[in-house]
């Protein structure tokens, strides 16, 4: 039996043998059911791994066993992978090596069983659960939309160290295996079968029977064979070297070398088919001990845990789920409103999109059809689901009183960013929708309280702030106004989750959270540009820090007119420290607004994959006094401008805590995920050092002379840093 003494385990771990149930439904067949009594959801923690190995050890002595099926309590509930709570707490590399050894002992024993072993799986099968299945002779997967299987470990800064890094490429080939591991993809049932990751699909209700038939040879489902590709590609050192070289080049371009786990996988996955499983265990343990105890893994696991916690926001404080939203509406068919309505329709909400302008409405409806047809063509949507998504969106140009909104359980307004317009829209809606229908505003700069003022039942008014582009941006700010009820907040968060988004609940303040912290960051970048920092150097500095794009490039994407309006709103709300730089004024005055007009700091010709810097930027600067700043100094200025404002947000209770701030900063601003978010990054600096750096920036001559220097002020009241963000 595996020795787990001293390894991380839950406090309520059951006695030996209780986590795996042994059933013998017919002669020659044994079914091992993963059913730990101490957990609602099956996690491959140390007690379960011990009991799995113990059960297999017992079966090794039973000469009458011809087939073994490993399954979960229900067809669509197998296991959710390894115990991330335990892994996050481990800082000793030697403990990680022992945990890896536990997995290899148990799965190695499974792979060596004389009887045919079958994994009967369904629902989510990520990480360690997938590795358990890969150790079996055959894999039977429930054909359900809920079934997703793969190895997402690199997205958490760790590696598939229980044999997955070697067994997956052996099964599907080094090219497909490497791509799956680097991207951390979870594959649906059909894709998994097509690529050879699983051997057999069946409907969930038949999973147990089909798995038993396969285990006993009544169903002769064969394991996918690589054929000639196994020798020409998978076991060919030259082919492996080519794959490694190209993958390393791609990974470095995408990550700038900031994510150690993916770089490790680039080196070992292409060699996997030529490595024994004994050597694989040694290799994976050595790598895992390095990456799992490093800061990148801790940061990424923290973000993952925060995103999982956000899924609980779709409930009221007493744990009740709000009624599901089946009928909704969006007023305003512009870029934001049209995209929100499209996502709602695709995700199962019958949606009415209203706009008084017929041309605007037609464009949005056409864009919806284009998006759905693209997914149908790429087989990301089944034909019947694509048809349903098209049918669920309709449009109207009728006034609100005649627009057919009475059945809507939620109406989201995405009209002009003017208080009087939004109040008028909600005033008309209040006359036609039910008294408990949610009225949600997608405003990015106006007060939810002021929008709700004078409306009947203001408790059902909530902010639902999506980010552009709606389909790509994962975050939605759920804005709680002073009168907003817990039920309205939970319903709005539940809708965001149903749309595949991650909600963060924020206080009703100017800029809410994301735009409020992003404003000083972008403005500081503009000030540095204006004072002589070369634009390519400026953007490169923040790319090197870990941002997905430089601040000047981001301003091009946002649009200079929108950025200027947002900066003015923050200045109006917060005063001197938010004094905006005026460098964008001349751009806006001449209609040069960024990507949407083809030119901003960059030239966007629609032909080049990456835009080139404009050649007239030198004339746009007022001085060259800061031309000698280093890239590290540039990044620190911009990031600490953002970070100091984030600490103010924590002080004021704009967001619940550090974990939520980290989640919003990563998902909303693109803050470097490998650093774990703004709060975790500030914690890594430490309070005394942070104060020293802020004072040093505040004392710099260019900062002392300007308006807006207050953004670097060190206040007496400050959210505690240095104790571990997100914990």
pLDDT digits (tens, 9 = 90+) for 477-535: 999 999 999 999 999 999 999 999 999 999 999 999 999 999 999 999 999 999 999 99
| Cβ pair 711, 644 in contact under 8 A | yes
* pLDDT tens digits, 248-269: 999 999 999 999 999 999 999 9
Q: Which residue is listed with tokens 């700010």?
A: 477
Does one domain contain both 493 and 576? no
Does one domain contain both 420 and 530? no
Asked if the structure places residue 185 within a domain, the reply is yes
Model pLDDT, residue 717: 60
Does one domain contain both 331 and 393? yes
Does one domain contain both 526 and 475? no
One-letter-per-residue 3-state SS of 407-464? CCCEEEECCCCCHHHHHHHHHHHHHHCCCCCEEEECCCCCCHHHHHCCCCCHHHEEEE
Q: Which CATH number belongs to the domain containing residue 533 in this structure?
A: 1.10.1040.50
- Dist. CA 122–CA 201, nearest whole Å: 10
Does one domain contain both 502 and 629? no
Asked if the structure places residue 298 within a domain, the reply is no
Asked if the structure places residue 302 within a domain, the reply is no
Does one domain contain both 656 and 689? yes
Q: List the domain range (segments joined by +) for residue 234.
A: 20-293
Does one domain contain both 215 and 174? yes
- pLDDT above 90 (res 726): no
Asked if the structure places residue 11 within a domain, the reply is no
Q: For the chain, what is the mean pLDDT?
A: 94
Asked if the structure places residue 5 within a domain, the reply is no
- pLDDT above 50 (res 724): no
Instruction: Please give the model's pTM, rounded to 2 decimal places.
Output: 0.91
Would you state the structure tokens that stand for residue 688, as one six-digit string? 């005394």
What is the three-class DSSP state of 700? coil
Model pLDDT, residue 4: 87
Asked if the structure places residue 8 within a domain, the reply is no
Does one domain contain both 553 and 701? yes
Of 507, 538, 558, the one marking the end of a domain is 507
Task: Indicate the pLDDT class of residue 725, thresholds 50, 70 and 90.
Answer: very low
Whole-number Cα distances in Å, 225 to 229, 243, 390, 454, 466: 9, 21, 40, 69, 46
Q: Which CATH number belongs to the domain containing residue 26 in this structure?
A: 3.90.226.10
Q: Which CATH number belongs to the domain containing residue 348 in this structure?
A: 3.40.50.720
- The long-range contacts involving 533-541, CB below 8 angstroms and separated by at least 24 positions, are 533/626, 533/627, 533/629, 533/634, 534/627, 535/601, 535/613, 535/617, 536/613, 537/631, 537/634, 538/634, 540/631, 541/631, 541/632, 541/634, 541/635, 541/638
| Cβ pair 497, 503 in contact under 8 A | yes
- b/e sequence 31-58, b meaning 16+ C-beta within 10 Å: bbbbbbebbeebbbbbbbbbbbbbbbee
Whole-number Cα distances in Å, 452 to 228, 463, 548: 68, 10, 36
Model pLDDT, residue 719: 57
Asked if the structure places residue 13 within a domain, the reply is no
Does one domain contain both 185 and 49? yes
Does one domain contain both 344 and 438? yes
How many structural domains comprise the chain?
3
Does one domain contain both 649 and 677? yes
Of 507, 541, 571, the one marking the end of a domain is 507
Asked if the structure places residue 725 within a domain, the reply is no
Q: How many CA atoms lie within 13 A of 168 on its CB side?
A: 34
Does one domain contain both 373 and 243? no
CB-based contacts of 179, cutoff 8 Å, min separation 6 = 185
Mean pLDDT of 330-346: 97
- Dist. CA 669–CA 666, nearest whole Å: 6
Q: Strand order in 461-466's β-sheet?
A: 393-396, 350-354, 327-331, 410-413, 438-441, 461-466, 475-480, 502-507
Model pLDDT, residue 582: 93
What is the three-class DSSP state of 193? helix
Of 488, 507, 526, the one marking the end of a domain is 507
Lowest mean pLDDT among 201-215, 218-232, 349-363, 405-419: 218-232
Catalytic residues: 465
Task: Indicate the pLDDT class of residue 723, thresholds 50, 70 and 90.
Answer: very low
Model pLDDT, residue 224: 79
């Amino acid at each position: 039996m595996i020795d787990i003494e001293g390894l991380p385990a839950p406090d309520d771990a059951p006695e030996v043998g209780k986590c795996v149930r042994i059933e013998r439904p017919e002669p020659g067949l044994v079914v091992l059911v993963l059913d730990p009594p101490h957990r609602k959801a099956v996690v491959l923690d140390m007690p379960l791994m011990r009991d799995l190995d113990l059960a297999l050890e017992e079966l090794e002595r039973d000469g009458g066993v011809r087939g073994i099926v490993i399954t979960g309590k229900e067809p669509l509930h197998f296991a959710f992978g390894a115990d991330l709570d335990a892994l996050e707490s481990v800082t000793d590399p030697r403990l990680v090596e022992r945990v890896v050894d536990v997995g290899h002992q148990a799965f190695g024993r499974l792979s060596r069983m004389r009887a045919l072993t079958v994994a009967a799986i369904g629902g989510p099968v990520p990480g360690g659960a997938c590795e358990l299945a890969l150790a079996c002779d055959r894999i039977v997967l429930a054909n359900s939309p809920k079934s997703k299987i793969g190895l997402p470990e690199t997205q958490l800064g760790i590696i598939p160290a229980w044999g997955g890094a070697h067994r997956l490429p052996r099964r599907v080939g080094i090219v497909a295996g490497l791509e799956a591991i680097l991207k951390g993809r979870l594959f649906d049932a059909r894709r998994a079968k097509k690529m050879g990751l699983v051997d057999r699909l069946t409907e969930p209700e038949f999973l147990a029977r089909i798995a038993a038939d396969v285990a006993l040879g009544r169903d002769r489902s064969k394991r996918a064979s690589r054929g000639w590709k196994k020798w020409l590609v998978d076991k060919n050192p030259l082919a492996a070297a080519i794959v490694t070289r190209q993958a390393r080049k791609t990974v470095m371009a995408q990550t700038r070398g900031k994510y150690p786990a993916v770089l490790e996988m680039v080196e070992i996955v292409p060699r996997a088919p030529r490595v024994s499983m004994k050597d694989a265990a040694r290799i994976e343990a050595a790598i895992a001990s390095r990456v799992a105890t490093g800061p990148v893994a801790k940061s990424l696991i923290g973000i993952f845990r925060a995103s999982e916690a956000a899924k609980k926001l779709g409930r009221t404080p007493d744990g009740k789920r709000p009624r599901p939203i089946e009928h909704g509406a969006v007023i305003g068919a512009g870029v934001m409103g049209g995209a929100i309505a499209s996502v709602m329709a695709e995700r199962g909400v019958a949606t009415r999109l209203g706009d008084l302008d017929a041309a605007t409405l037609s464009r949005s409806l056409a864009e919806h059809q284009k998006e759905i047809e693209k997914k149908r063509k790429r087989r990301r949507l089944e034909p019947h689901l694509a048809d349903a998504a098209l049918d669920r969106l309709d449009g109207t140009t009728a006034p609100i009183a005649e627009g057919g909104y009475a059945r809507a359980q939620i109406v989201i307004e995405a009209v002009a960013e003017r208080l009087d317009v939004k109040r008028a829209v909600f005033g008309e809606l209040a006359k036609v929708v039910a008294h408990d229908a949610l009225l949600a505003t997608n405003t990015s700069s106006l007060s939810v309280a002021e929008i709700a003022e004078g409306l009947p039942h203001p408790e059902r008014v909530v902010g639902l702030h999506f980010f552009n582009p709606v389909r790509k941006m994962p975050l939605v700010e759920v804005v709680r106004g002073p009168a907003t009820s817990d039920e309205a907040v939970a319903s709005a968060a539940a809708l965001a989750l149903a749309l595949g988004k991650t909600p963060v609940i924020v206080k009703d303040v100017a800029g809410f959270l994301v735009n409020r912290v992003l404003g000083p960051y972008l403005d500081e970048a503009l000030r540095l540009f204006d004072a002589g920092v070369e634009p390519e150097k400026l953007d490169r500095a923040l790319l090197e820090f870990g941002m997905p794009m430089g601040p000047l490039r981001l301003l091009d994407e946002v649009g200079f007119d929108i950025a200027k309006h947002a900066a003015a709103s923050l200045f109006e709300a917060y005063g001197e420290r938010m004094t905006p730089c005026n460098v964008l004024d001349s751009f806006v005055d001449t209609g040069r607004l960024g990507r949407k007009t083809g030119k901003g700091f960059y030239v966007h010709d629609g032909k080049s994959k990456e835009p080139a810097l404009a050649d007239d930027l030198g004339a746009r600067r007022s001085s060259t006094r800061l031309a000698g700043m280093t890239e590290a100094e540039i990044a620190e200025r911009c990031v600490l401008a953002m970070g100091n404002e984030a600490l103010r947000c924590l002080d004021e209770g704009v967001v619940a805590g550090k974990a939520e701030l980290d989640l919003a900063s990563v998902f909303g601003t693109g803050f470097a995920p490998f650093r774990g978010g703004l709060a975790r990054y500030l914690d890594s600096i430490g309070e005394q050092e942070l104060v020293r750096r802020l004072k040093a920036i505040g004392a710099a001559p260019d900062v002392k002379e300007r308006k807006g220097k207050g953004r670097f002020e060190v206040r007496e009241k400050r959210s505690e840093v240095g104790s571990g963000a997100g914990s």
